[in-house]
Amino acid sequence: MPDLTEKKKGELYLFSEIVLWAFFPIITTLSYAVLPSLISLGCSAVFAAVFFGFIVWYRKTWREVWNRTLWKYLFFITLFIAILYYLLYFIGLQKTTAGNAALISQFEIFSTLFFFNILRREYISTAHIIGAVSMVLGVVIVLVPNFSGINMGDFLILGATLCAPIGNLYQQKARRIASSETILFLRTLLSIPFIFALAYLLSMHTSIGDIRSSLFLLVVNGVFFLGLQKILFLEALHRLPITNIMALSALGPFLTLLFAWFFLHQPPNVWQLTSLVPLIFGTLLLTDQIRLKNPPLA
């Protein structure tokens, strides 16, 4: 019975996280009207760090900071999630639509299961192979139509999905020895200097006035999307198998396309809608929600 309760909690955390994450490309795109991508990411990360720091203080989990094993995990978590994933995602969003970003992000399902299979040397079934091919096909449908050159935004989002599985593996390990808020506080804090340093090197500058005009969006991005949403995800990751998380996350692109249509006036095109078919089919196969019948023995 306790396991069932934990499973229900995990599903509730995950559903809340999916709804929040669906808004993320929308709010981030709106902030780009005034601020360069890395400045937006850096300022959002500052507000996220304040949010996590308050929770760490309130729940009195500071002692976890001194766990040496946690710091070993934090190196990989910070590198692959807080730095590489978000850098690629934020810069990519500046060069593509919120709808495309949401659809291409589904490739993370393929990269996660591929990574875990290779890492654990598990058997890859025919259904999983077909599912993987379907996921690739779904991304190709988004990337290829009207191709007149490389859309760097789409490929940067695709690159972000390749970084996530490694970071998530170490986040799972870290969550066994530390709380979500401590992990997220430390990884966010470690990433902030790097993000602003890179923004400076790439000549991304802004003014205090521009930051003030985008302050509401930056606070929302930091507290809700880089903050609360990440706590919900880690709590779900702690309670549910990764395959369940990937399957339920297929709801995300539907919501983002809907929100992008309503808030950004970016109606989904026929290719985006078409890509949902192989993406969802591939998700269901890869997560064993659909099983292929074994052929009868001769």
Domain positions in the chain: 2-286
Query: 155 CB contacts (<8 Å, ≥6 apart)?
Result: 92, 143
Cβ atoms < 10 Å from Cβ of 9: 15
pLDDT band at 191 (very low <50, low <70, confident <90, very high): very high
Mean pLDDT of the 191-197 span: 93
Task: Decide: helix, strand or coil at residue 41.
Answer: helix
CA-CA-CA-CA torsion sign (219, 22, 226, 87)? negative
Q: Which residue has the higher pLDDT, 220 or 295?
A: 220
- Residue 158 CA from chain centroid, whole number: 11
For residues 263 and 119, the answer to whether their CB atoms sit within 8 Å is no
For residues 199 and 42, the answer to whether their CB atoms sit within 8 Å is yes
pTM above 0.85, yes or no: no
For residues 246 and 113, the answer to whether their CB atoms sit within 8 Å is yes
Amino acid identity for residue 94 in this structure: Q
pLDDT at 189: 95
Q: Which two tokens stand for residue 144?
A: 């290829």
Mean pLDDT of the 34-62 span: 91
Mean pLDDT taken over the chain = 81
| Residue 178, H or E segment | none
pLDDT band at 44 (very low <50, low <70, confident <90, very high): very high
pLDDT at 248: 65
